[in-house]
Amino acid sequence: MILIWNRYTRSSVVDKNYVDLTDTLLVHANDADLDIFKKLNGSNLFLRDISQIRRGLPFQNKVTKTKTKYPVYRGKDISRYALRETSEYLSAELIDIENEKIKFLMQSKILSQNIVAHVENPRPHIIITSTLDKKGVLNLDTVENTVLTDNDYSLEFVTCLLNSKLISWYAYRYIFAKAIRTMHLDDYYLGKIPLPKNAKKLDEFKTLYNELEKAQKQQDTFKVEMKEYEINSLIYALYDLNKTEIYSIESDFI
């Protein structure tokens, strides 16, 4: 057992197996938060177990505004459930389509901003920002690319999971230890995100993702918020969180 001290509460005790499992030294934890931590890690399954995760290309100084057949994207071009248009390109001379990393990027995948946004209000929290890429676009190393290696999981589900309030809440506490700035969503950190036990073949997330993506394109803010609410609710249910636990998480964002 490991004793965890929180300055605002009494000390808490957690099984050392959880520390070994998650490769995380737990800090800032109270008993209620630790109950959520244990529920999320109950499956012993993590994103690293079903994916390969890599940064984009180190070609920032080789980007051109001259149009070629190789558009390239930066972290700033990624928003939640959408990829903004780019006016930047890479020259054909740079692109070797037989190169292993180029092949990796030219797959359907999930794009995430590598730099994690930290927000102060209403309480300090982070926001993970991800979108689905079915075209296999090229991108720079301010982008994190997640390619799934297990066909039982859908890109739509994992994208919804990464964008959920629950995973941002979890990552802030138990992956980044409530850091304030310069948090990178590299493969080691992204791979530590725990998956629920019953997350295979979840077709409802494909439908929700497509509806949300369409609402984003139409700039229908109300519909976007409603679809995100549905997604968050489904994800809370997958981890079997109760109303009190959900309220505790939501209070960081509302």
Instruction: Give residue 6's pLDDT band: very low, low, confident or very high (50, 70, 90).
Output: very low
pLDDT at 198: 78
Cα–Cα distance measured from residue 208 to residue 145, given in angstroms and rounded to the nearest whole number: 22
Q: CB of 252 within 8 A of CB of 244? A: no
Instruction: Give residue 8's pLDDT band: very low, low, confident or very high (50, 70, 90).
Output: very low
Query: Where do the domains of the chain lie, and which CATH numbers do they carry?
Result: 42-250 (3.90.220.10)
Strands (E), 107-254: 109-113, 117-119, 125-127, 130-133, 138-139, 143-148
Q: CB of 14 within 8 A of CB of 2? A: yes
pLDDT at 123: 84
Q: Residue 98 to residues 2, 147, 183: CA-CA distances in angstroms?
A: 49, 18, 32
Q: Residue 68 to residues 63, 71, 86, 88, 94: CA-CA distances in angstroms?
A: 11, 7, 12, 9, 11
Q: Looking at this protein, which amino acid is placed at residue 173?
A: R
Strand pairing class (125-127; 117-119): antiparallel
pTM beyond cutoff 0.75? yes
pLDDT at 28: 62
Question: Does residue 81 sit in helix, strand or coil?
Answer: coil
pLDDT tens digits along 198-214: 777 788 999 999 999 89
Q: Which residue has the tokens 């301010």?
A: 142
Cα–Cα distance measured from residue 44 to residue 119, given in angstroms and rounded to the nearest whole number: 30
pLDDT at residue 166 is higher than 70: yes
98-128: buried (b, 16+ CB within 10 Å) or exposed (e) per residue? eeeebeebeeebbbbbbbbebeeeeeebbbb
233-254: buried (b, 16+ CB within 10 Å) or exposed (e) per residue? ebbbebbebeeebbebbeebee
Cα–Cα distance measured from residue 117 to residue 191, given in angstroms and rounded to the nearest whole number: 18
